[in-house]
Chain A
């Protein structure tokens, strides 16, 4: 008693002097790391130990737990422990913590899977995702046929609002990006072509590359990031809040209300956006050609007419509905894969965007190969 009061220290400490541990200060979670450090460094002499708690000003359940843990540790290693000058209100806390019967070191740990097991789980997950996606495509097909047989059930209002959201509101960003892309191609290509005195062919370069490849691709990528992610997030959140189940319980198939209108709308919107991107890209190239290569607008447009065949145009625009179907299907599928939490919505949205962009580029490559085989 005298030791603790004599020194009247306010610092949060647990200091050993002989066989006495002198404790002081605030044993609350805010300062407890000091006690933890002190206790880690203490070597306990054999024989009885006295814990002098007289200097402890404050204590919360965290502090009480540290004390309880210390008592159990000392007693289990054969020491006789005397608890000295513990204030009654702290003694109450100590009893409370002791009653919980938590034991130090017995905190449950999640079971770690072995590497091979993880690999197996991943493979099975991947496979079941793939099968799920195929089944989903089948369900969409079935729902589509059902709607075609009962055209009255087609949700025109939903389609219209989705069309506005996915198409009309994307005009700005799609137009800007393809205009800039046209400028970049004309600039980079023009520098090379001028060396050969073939400046005029910049119109071929910009026109063909935009119309055949770049406009459909850039538009699909923007739409995957902008609309595909929104589809996943919307359906995923509805899944978390049980709105999807609510639809089912009302006898409204979620496919009819949530998936088909989005799919229809995107299949219509993406080709239109692609045409818009074609025009903006060619305009960008025209501006750059006139500024850098001094090609008059009329000359450029004349040249475009020769360079771009109807085939090329149709090849570009024809890919767009396929891309649209891919983006909408993956977006909706990932939305339905959400389980439980907000975190899951985020993860699925990321997956949706990554997978749609990947799939669009792979399919585009397949188209290129197929068209060159067919000689188009």
Chain B
């Protein structure tokens, strides 16, 4: 699996010397990380290790305290508003709880980015939204439901459909399988791999679902103690003797996940 991301591929996200503090609380310090084009990179770590914060910094949602983040060849801190907007259009974000707009139905939610950023006719936007819904395994009839009428799994799928509405080159997934039952979580893993195969975005995901890591991730980085503890394929991390890595991956759940692969 590690072979899938090839070292010579261009870098899509480059994070260097990144430090983030909230008040006096240090989240991470002097972090370096790069994401190569076409790979699925998973960020893992215990609760409070700053996974989601790191994701938000890369997705232009949270300015870091210090350090450099460059995305799709654009250094973030130097960007003007217009340029930032252009970069944002090329990335898609799946939020942990979906963040679907409660006042719009699913079809309108998925069509929202298209309506905002293109001048297509309403009919065509709705059709494209239907195509996206179908890609994430929802039916066109589901498009008429409102977010509060959806089950957890459907909400994640609808949110993913919205995240891929503009065919992003870079897709950020925050805890894609959290809150899903094991069957739905498996199906969602498959869905991510399917979308990866068909639309070929670079994917950065945050997860502590070890099954997801084994099935989906090309490369895994482990965060903890405010820094990057380890980095490599799941196979490599599973063989690692580093105590922090062992603690994270060799618990009973970690071993069960490995055995099932």
- On whether A340 and B102 interact (CB within 8 A), knowing A29-B167, A107-B127, the answer reads yes
Contacts of B118 in A (CB 8 A): 29-30, 32-33
Q: Does B117 contact A (CB under 8 A)?
A: yes
Q: Chain A's nearest CB lies how many Å from the CB of B72?
A: 15
Q: Does B131 contact A (CB under 8 A)?
A: yes
Q: Can you name the residue of chain A whose Cβ is closest to the Cβ of B105?
A: A110
Q: Can you name the residue of chain B whose Cβ is closest to the Cβ of A99?
A: B134
Q: In the complex, are the beta carbons of A61 and B120 less than 8 A apart? A: no
B-binding segment of A193-201, A221-229, A341-349: A341-349
Q: In the complex, are the beta carbons of B140 and A340 less than 8 A apart? A: no
Q: Does B206 contact A (CB under 8 A)?
A: no
- On whether A102 and B131 interact (CB within 8 A), knowing A92-B198, A108-B143, the answer reads yes
Q: Chain B's nearest CB lies how many Å from the CB of A80?
A: 25
Q: Does A11 contact B (CB under 8 A)?
A: no
Contact of A61 among B123, B131, B140, B148 (CB under 8 A): B131
A119 to B147, CA, bound (A): 26
**Most B Cβ at <10 Å: residue of A33, A36, A102, A341:** A102
Contacts of B130 in A (CB 8 A): 100, 102, 106-107
Q: In the complex, are the beta carbons of A61 and B134 less than 8 A apart? A: no
**Most A Cβ at <10 Å: residue of B114, B118, B123, B127:** B127
Q: Does B26 contact A (CB under 8 A)?
A: no
Q: Apart from A60-B166, A110-B105, what 5 extra A-B contacts exist at CB < 8 Å? A: A29-B167, A32-B120, A32-B124, A100-B130, A343-B103
Q: Does B199 contact A (CB under 8 A)?
A: yes
A36 to B114, CA, bound (A): 15
- Pick 7 A–B contacts, CB within 8 A, sort by A: A33-B121, A61-B135, A102-B134, A107-B126, A107-B127, A339-B148, A341-B146
Q: Chain B's nearest CB lies how many Å from the CB of A233?
A: 15
Q: Mark A332-356, 1 if CB is under 8 A from B, else 0.
A: 0000000111111000000000000
Q: Kindly identify, within residues 189 to 213 of chain B, every residue whose CB is under 8 Å from any CB belonging to chain A.
A: 198-199
Q: Does B1 contact A (CB under 8 A)?
A: no
Contacts of B167 in A (CB 8 A): 28-29, 60-62
Q: Chain B's nearest CB lies how many Å from the CB of A25?
A: 15
Q: Does B128 contact A (CB under 8 A)?
A: yes
Q: In the complex, are the beta carbons of B128 and A30 less than 8 A apart? A: no
Q: Kindly identify, within residues 53 to 105 of chain A, every residue whose CB is under 8 Å from any CB belonging to chain B.
A: 60-62, 65-66, 69, 92-93, 96-97, 100-102, 104-105
Q: Does B247 contact A (CB under 8 A)?
A: no
Q: Kindly identify, within residues 94 to 129 of chain A, every residue whose CB is under 8 Å from any CB belonging to chain B.
A: 96-97, 100-102, 104-108, 110
Q: In the complex, are the beta carbons of B103 and A29 less than 8 A apart? A: no
Q: Chain A's nearest CB lies how many Å from the CB of B219?
A: 24
Q: Chain B's nearest CB lies how many Å from the CB of A79?
A: 21
Q: Chain A's nearest CB lies how many Å from the CB of B170?
A: 14
Contacts of A342 in B (CB 8 A): 102-103
Contacts of A108 in B (CB 8 A): 107, 140-141, 143-144
A106 to B143, CA, bound (A): 12
Q: Chain B's nearest CB lies how many Å from the CB of A58?
A: 10
- On whether A340 and B148 interact (CB within 8 A), knowing A29-B166, A93-B198, A107-B140, the answer reads yes
Contact of A100 among B123, B131, B148 (CB under 8 A): B131
Q: Contact residues of B with A, CB < 8 Å?
A: 102-103, 105, 107, 114, 117-121, 123-124, 126-128, 130-132, 134-135, 140-141, 143-144, 146-148, 166-167, 198-199
A105 to B126, CA, bound (A): 9
Q: Contact residues of A with B, CB < 8 Å?
A: 28-30, 32-33, 36, 60-62, 65-66, 69, 92-93, 96-97, 100-102, 104-108, 110, 339-344
Contacts of B147 in A (CB 8 A): 340-341
A62 to B125, CA, bound (A): 9
Contacts of A107 in B (CB 8 A): 107, 123, 126-127, 130, 140, 143
- On whether A29 and B128 interact (CB within 8 A), knowing A62-B167, A106-B140, A108-B143, the answer reads yes
Q: Chain A's nearest CB lies how many Å from the CB of B87?
A: 14
Contacts of B199 in A (CB 8 A): 61
Q: Can you name the residue of chain B whose Cβ is closest to the Cβ of A342?
A: B102
Q: Chain B's nearest CB lies how many Å from the CB of A142?
A: 30
A30 to B144, CA, bound (A): 26
Q: Can you name the residue of chain A whose Cβ is closest to the Cβ of B195?
A: A96
Q: In the complex, are the beta carbons of A96 and B135 less than 8 A apart? A: yes
Contacts of B127 in A (CB 8 A): 65, 69, 102, 104, 107
Q: In the complex, are the beta carbons of A341 and B103 less than 8 A apart? A: yes
A97 to B123, CA, bound (A): 17
Q: Chain B's nearest CB lies how many Å from the CB of A239?
A: 12
Contacts of A110 in B (CB 8 A): 105, 144
Q: In the complex, are the beta carbons of B166 and A65 less than 8 A apart? A: no
Q: Chain A's nearest CB lies how many Å from the CB of B159?
A: 15
Contacts of B121 in A (CB 8 A): 33, 36
Q: Can you name the residue of chain B whose Cβ is closest to the Cβ of A96?
A: B198
Q: Can you name the residue of chain B whose Cβ is closest to the Cβ of A69?
A: B127
Q: Can you name the residue of chain A whose Cβ is closest to the Cβ of B168?
A: A60
Q: Chain B's nearest CB lies how many Å from the CB of A37?
A: 9
Q: Can you name the residue of chain B whose Cβ is closest to the Cβ of A341?
A: B102
Q: Chain A's nearest CB lies how many Å from the CB of B37?
A: 15
Q: In the complex, are the beta carbons of A36 and B144 less than 8 A apart? A: no
Q: Chain B's nearest CB lies how many Å from the CB of A51?
A: 18
Q: Chain A's nearest CB lies how many Å from the CB of B122?
A: 10
- On whether A341 and B148 interact (CB within 8 A), knowing A30-B117, A101-B134, the answer reads yes
Contacts of A101 in B (CB 8 A): 134
Q: Chain B's nearest CB lies how many Å from the CB of A338?
A: 11
Q: Chain A's nearest CB lies how many Å from the CB of B108?
A: 10
Contacts of B102 in A (CB 8 A): 340-344
Contact of A65 among B131, B140, B198 (CB under 8 A): B131
- On whether A36 and B124 interact (CB within 8 A), knowing A61-B167, A93-B198, A340-B148, the answer reads yes
Contacts of B141 in A (CB 8 A): 108
Contacts of A62 in B (CB 8 A): 114, 120, 124, 128, 167
